[in-house]
Amino acid sequence: MSEIAIVTGGSRGIGAATARMLAQRGYDVAISYLSNEAAAATVVRDIEAAGQRGLAVKCDAASETETEKLFEAVDRELGTLTALVNNAGITGKVDRLDSAPAETIRTCIDASVYGTIWASRAAVRRMSTRYDGKGGAIVNVSSIAAKLGSPNYYVWYAAAKGAVDALTIGLAKEVVKEGIRVNAVAPGIIDTDIHEHSSGLERRVEKEAHLIPMGRAGTPEEVAEGIVWLLSDVSSYVTAEILQISGAR
């Protein structure tokens, strides 16, 4: 029997790399996406090419109702969930807090904070021994922004990721005796669409490489390796951990 994973925001970037890697390591994988159906379909094809079952569900992470439907689709189509990656997220256009539109701030916080809360709650209800579940693992995709604060970029995003870190630690302790481990990864600058499409920063990966002690941005696969390790039994004594993957930034 394969392990069964949900990766939110699995159509592109870190989520897509994680979904592909999980399939290569023997997981059946459901991905959610917000609007890019074609990208989601490509990831599902790659999951299937790896010999696993794949499923793509359009689901706004910010919506409790849509998230419930995502989990019900996975119950129905794939079976008992064993792994969740809360990855869906956006930054919103770079701005100062005093001039950022409320909508930018709200959309970011809703996707990251409520997104992680709704999906984690649904996962605990399926995985916890308290609900006759068989256990499992949750990994939240945070950011080193929670530590740096991201002044003049997106302090609201940094605040959202700080909330994700607090949730990781608290929930990990809450369910530690119920067969569930909860961890996070905190990536630095990773080479994905987010910088240009969400933040509005052109060629950030090249322009800001000098700010990274390692001298380069990370790849989505380098983050996926950390996520997959935290989901696997190899990390069985690791919980409430926030693993920085940032080239020492």
Closer CB to ligand NAP, 187 or 226, in the complex: 187
The answer to whether 77 and 55 have CB atoms below 8 angstroms apart is yes
Binding of ligand NAP at residue 194 (CB under 6 A)? yes
Task: Work out how close the CB of 2 gets to ligand NAP at its nearest, in angstroms, rounded to a whole number.
Answer: 23
The answer to whether 85 and 136 have CB atoms below 8 angstroms apart is no
* DSSP classification of residue 70: H
Binding of ligand NAP at residue 18 (CB under 6 A)? no
16: exposed, middle or buried (Cβ count in 10 Å: 0-12, 13-18, 19+): buried
Binding of ligand NAP at residue 193 (CB under 6 A)? yes
Whether 157 is catalytic is yes
Binding of ligand NAP at residue 175 (CB under 6 A)? no
Task: Work out how close the CB of 173 gets to ligand NAP at its nearest, in angstroms, rounded to a whole number.
Answer: 23
Binding of ligand NAP at residue 90 (CB under 6 A)? yes
Q: Report residue 197 as tokens.
A: 């499409």
Return the residue of 3, 4, 12, 138 that touches ligand NAP, per CB under 6 A.
12
Closer CB to ligand NAP, 120 or 198, in the complex: 198
Going along 87-231, which residue ranges are E strands? 136-141, 180-187
Binding of ligand NAP at residue 192 (CB under 6 A)? yes
99/93 Cα distance (integer angstroms) = 11
Residue number of the CB closest to ligand NAP reads 13
Place of tokens 């926030």: 242
Secondary structure class of 233 (helix, strand, coil): helix
Q: Report residue 18 as tokens.
A: 């994680």
Q: Which residues bind ligand NAP (CB under 6 A)?
A: 8-9, 11-15, 32-36, 39, 59-62, 87-90, 111, 141, 143, 187, 189-190, 192-194, 197-198
